[in-house]
Amino acid sequence: MKTTRNTAAKTAVLEVLEKSKTALSHTEIHKQLNDLCDRVTIYRILDRLINEDIIHKISNLDGTVKYAKCHHSHQRVHIHNHAHFSCENCHEITCLENVKPSYIMPHNYKVNEINFTLSGLCPNCLNSNI
């Protein structure tokens, strides 16, 4: 069994992600930490949290990588095959846990992970345009 090192920086990164309702980029996380640690340390922490299956990463339509806290404490086997919504106006990414992507693959392919992103206007931006 792998032991997990708990550091103040790791705890702070996790806290930032837990409080956020949307996925955050490395830069957004770094800004919220107020220079608690350097950029490389944040990348290492994010990689460790992904490997520990505490967070997952999402590639936005523009190539930006964002990170979100997993909400799967009740599941023994967990995969991140849920949809994400990318707002074209505010650029926030939201996990859509209750929207399951559907696809049909040829028989000679094996899918391990899905990055399914829907694009449009989020409720906040939609309501502000009315």
Check residue 49 and give its pLDDT: 93
> How many whole angstroms separate alpha carbon 68 and alpha carbon 17?
6
> For the whole model, what pTM was predicted?
0.73
**Residue 106 above 60 pLDDT?**
yes
> How many whole angstroms separate alpha carbon 6 and alpha carbon 100?
33
User: Which residue range forms the structural domain that includes residue 99?
Assistant: 8-128
pLDDT digits (tens, 9 = 90+) for 2-47: 444 568 899 999 999 999 989 999 999 999 998 888 999 999 999 9
The most confident of 38-42, 50-54, 55-59, by mean pLDDT: 38-42
Domain count, the chain: 1
We report the CATH number of the domain holding residue 108 as 1.10.10.10
Residue 1 lies in a domain: no
Residue 2 lies in a domain: no
Residue 66 lies in a domain: yes
Residue 12 lies in a domain: yes
**Residue 69 above 60 pLDDT?**
yes
